[in-house]
Amino acid sequence: MEKAFSGIDIEARFEHARDVIREAGKRAMEYYEGDAADLAIETKTNALDMVSIADKNVEAIIRDRIGDAFPEDGFLGEEMGIEKGDNDCLWVIDPIDGTACFVNQMPTWCISVALMIGKEAVIGLIYHPCNDELFSAVIGDGARVNGEPAKASSAKRVSDGVMGIGMSHRLPSSSIVPVIGQLLDEEGMFIRNGSCALMMAYASAGRLIGYYEPHINPWDCMAGIVLMREAGGWCNDFLDLPNVLEDGGPILAAGPNVAKHLADMIGISYRG
């Protein structure tokens, strides 16, 4: 690893979290393969922004198992909010990213776990149980898919591959429609599969040329940021945004050759 953090064993945390996310995935699959009608569903703001009992229980598994091993660490989760620790470690958790897909028995959902130390994201884990694929990265040690090296797309033009796009009803359609229009005008193509974390994982493995969403919460993208950067890709300075852990913000991740062009297209500051 390139960076050392005094008194914090990143490798031990990575190895433990890697086991925990697979355990959480096994529990999530039990819900997913069961009767979706048995899942208690709550909507947050609209029918596509929902939480199930599976989300809550999977997050509890992750918090409990990591907390048992590293009781001084803090947590920020989509379902249970923030719990500050006694050190600079903060685990950022999305127990099921793509809940609308999950409860409708579509396979485009995943579990996302990241570790921040201070203002830096140092561990990224995204597990896709339906395909048994674990995307993992530790700062300074590269990105992997099921243990094999992963690399961001080498596409030189947006027409060389497929772009991941995300959108929610937190913003008006005008925040995304012009981007899609310009992408199509340049003979590019896009996909929206319902899970930011999973599409960022795919971008880190070079399956997508990049991913953009005009507003996202930190638990949806934190692991993906680590993965993309360790895979040789580029991300905007999401963690430098004001109050980002509370308010979220825009995320753009892309292969190195198209990153500046996409940033200019969208209007996001690019620093190579």
pTM: 0.93
Query: What residue numbers bound the domain in which 184 lies?
Result: 158-266
Together in a domain, 25 and 107: yes
CA gap 33, 111 in Å, rounded = 16
Look up the CATH number of the domain holding residue 60: 3.30.540.10
Hey, how many other C-beta atoms are within 10 angstroms of the C-beta on 53? 13
In a shared domain, residues 18 and 136: yes
Sheet holding 249-254, edge to edge: 189-191, 162-165, 210-216, 249-254, 234-235
Say whether 97 counts as a known binding-site residue. yes
Q: How many domains does the chain have?
A: 2
Please check whether residues 87 and 216 belong to one and the same domain: no
Of 116, 133, 150, the residue that ends a domain is 150
The answer to whether residue 231 sits within a structural domain is yes
Would you say residue 214 lies in a domain? yes
Whether residue 168 sits in one domain with residue 84: no
| 92-to-77, 89, 102, 172, 174 alpha-carbon distances in Å | 6, 10, 20, 27, 30
Asked if residue 216 belongs to a domain, the reply is yes
Residue 145 belongs to some domain of the structure = yes
Residues 176 and 101 placed together within one structural domain of the fold: no
The predicted pLDDT at position 80 comes to 84
Does residue 271 sit within a domain?
no
Residue 93, strand partner residues: 77, 113
In this structure, are 179 and 70 located in the same domain? no
The confidence score (pLDDT) of residue 148 equals 98
> For residue 1, is it within any domain?
no
Which of 100, 125, 150 is the last residue in one of the domains? 150
pLDDT at 266: 96
Q: So what's the pLDDT on residue 54?
A: 86
Same domain for 146 and 178, yes or no, is: no
Residues 168 and 52 reside in one and the same domain: no
Answer yes or no: is 2 within a domain.
no
- If asked whether residues 108 and 193 sit together in one domain, one would say no
Residue 41's region, left for phi above 0, alpha for psi from -120 to 50, else beta, is beta
Give the CATH number for residue 164.
3.40.190.80
Regarding whether 97 and 180 lie in a shared domain, the answer is no
Task: Give me the pLDDT at residue 49, please.
Answer: 44
- Confirm whether residue 220 is marked as ligand binding: yes
Q: Tell whether 18 and 142 lie within a shared domain.
A: yes
- Regions of the chain where pLDDT drops below 50: 1-2, 45-50
Which pLDDT score, from 0 to 100, does residue 51 have? 53
Q: What is the pLDDT of residue 272?
A: 79
pLDDT of residue 100: 87
Residue after which a domain boundary falls, among 115, 150, 185: 150
Instruction: Look at residue 4 and tell me if it is in a domain.
Output: no
User: Among 204, 196, 182, which residue's Cα sits nearest to residue 248?
Assistant: 196
Both 120 and 231 in one domain: the answer is no
Residue 42 confidence (pLDDT): 56
- What secondary structure letter does DSSP report for 171? S
pLDDT at 211: 98
What pLDDT, in 10s, does the model give residues 83-110? Answer: 999 999 999 999 999 988 998 889 999 9
